[in-house]
Amino acid sequence: MTSHQNAFAIYDYQKYLNEARGLHEATIDAASRYIRQFEDFTGGIDFARVSRTQIISFKESIRQKAEDENCLSPSTVVHSLRALGAFFSWLVTRPEYGKLARDLPDYFTPSKRLVKIANAPTDKYVPSVDEIRKLIAASPRDTLLQRRDRAIIAFLYLTGVRNGALVTLRLKHVDTAQKLVFQDAREVATKASKTMRTAWFPVGEDFEEIVINWVAELRGIAAKEDVPLFPRGFRKEWGASKDECFEFLSSTDPVRKIIKAAAAVAETVYFRPHAIRATIGRNIERWGATAEERKALSQNLGHERYVTTREFYGALPEDQQHALIANIRDRGEVDPQHDILQPFARAPENIRTALIEILKPYR
């Protein structure tokens, strides 16, 4: 049973995370959940009496759930242990918990093995551009909401916005003339409350046309600038004005359902909406001719460093990886002196030699 002192401590910690750390409500809720799970494991013991032995037993218990029973993911275990370590690091600074050992939070440190498992890349399906086009082509467009669904898929690939931002964007945030999206954190649920202006990616005029037509259709039915870009539905309000009422989607779940339904019609593999950002990430190397261009494309995804884009979204598809290695086997080793000519490795030797002579002054 939770002691009153524990309840006060959790409340004060929630307030600290909110006011002193400025953390999101969902992050605070997760931390509180992990703390209560630990408290339940110890039988509601007063936090002031927690011992190293109890922490070690708790770690072993959730490790078994992750590795032996498959009840918890390694990632969840690592997050919970780190959250508990942070809580007890705060707790030992409180005067009323002065008797706790100062190294007590260290015992929540997850094993290196578990961290490696948690951080290991997972196989996630990343759609090809052709698959995204196939989804759009198969999507019905007879009704306004069907055209909305089609525009949502096109917009995800055109702009790379995250789900949370997508369902909170307003009509005024899209500039079809300049081909920009203003993700204003005061009104749009962006990651880390980051405001940014996103340019449309060079994905093709067919995607642009779908979004431009959707925006024009909304304005054609007298939608005001503050209405949702992708409304939940349309209904008439009672009263003198009898205006159309546009409501925001209540969550990101409908976006997943839209893609799932389109995949079923197109008879393609279902993928998460966020996977489209990986599709964009994999194309950056092809779109960007210079390091500066690739940096611009990476920033457009919301990443401050290009290495972030490459690490999380830029992995080559396995079939492309194997094809490239097969080409390397057929080609043989490249002369280190001719590294500048690697893109022309299969050209005749006389042409490669001539190019080397031409380029020597610029090396």
Domain positions in the chain are 4-119, 129-277, 327-362
pLDDT given at position 116: 85
- Please, are residues 180 and 198 in contact by the beta-carbon 8 Å criterion? yes
pLDDT given at position 1: 46
Assigned CATH topology for domain 129-277: hpI Integrase; Chain A (1.10.443)
Q: Which residues of the chain have pLDDT under 50?
A: 1, 237-242
pLDDT given at position 234: 63
- Please, are residues 279 and 126 in contact by the beta-carbon 8 Å criterion? yes
Of the CA atoms within 13 Å of residue 316, those in its CB half-sphere come to 10
CA 249 to the chain's CA centroid: 19
**φ, ψ for residue 257 (rounded to 5)?**
-65, -35
Helix-helix angle 25-41:74-91, to 10 degrees: 90
- Please, are residues 310 and 294 in contact by the beta-carbon 8 Å criterion? no
For the domain made up of 4-119, the CATH class stated in words is mainly alpha
CA 234 to the chain's CA centroid: 30
pLDDT given at position 243: 52
DSSP string of 255-279, one letter each residue? HHHHHHHHHHHHT-----TTHHHHH
- Please, are residues 49 and 6 in contact by the beta-carbon 8 Å criterion? no
What is the tens place of the pLDDT at every residue in 119-128? 776 667 899 9
Q: Please report, as a single letter, which amino acid is at residue 225.
A: E
pLDDT given at position 238: 47
From CA 162, how far away is CA 174, in angstroms rounded? 15
Helix (H, G, I), strand (E, B) or coil at 246: strand
pLDDT given at position 354: 84
